Amino acid sequence: MAEDNWIKAEGNDIHNFDEEPTLIGTYIRKEENTGPNASNLYTLEKTDGGYISVWGNTILDNRFEIVNLGEEVRIVYYGKVKSEKTGREYRNFDLWHRKPAFKKV
């Protein structure tokens, strides 16, 4: 509850790509070495004004390298696939980005 206009800062939900394979939002923050696996955690602002976070993996970390804070992103999850080189399974994603549309204030 906001008391005297104070808003409590709480952690964001983590997006579940198994339930919703596509996520669209504005990239607003990257946290490094987070959690028990010292992973990257990316935070997006959704179109409804809420916030959602996404755990990084090798694919997402590499693709986020060229995305600037403030850009819109669309992440699509394709499920687990098997690497031809190693035989290991990994979570496969595509990531698109674009400069946000100009908003008149």
Residue 62's region, left for phi above 0, alpha for psi from -120 to 50, else beta, is: alpha
- Does the pLDDT of residue 104 top 60, yes or no? no
Where do we find the tokens 């983590």? 14
- Does the pLDDT of residue 105 top 70, yes or no? no
Mean pLDDT value across residues 61-80: 96
At 5 the three-state DSSP class reads: coil
Per-residue pLDDT, 54 = 96
Where are the strands (E) in 1-105, listed by range?
Answer: 13-14, 22-34, 39-45, 51-55, 72-82, 89-98
**pLDDT confidence of 11, banded at 50, 70, 90?**
confident
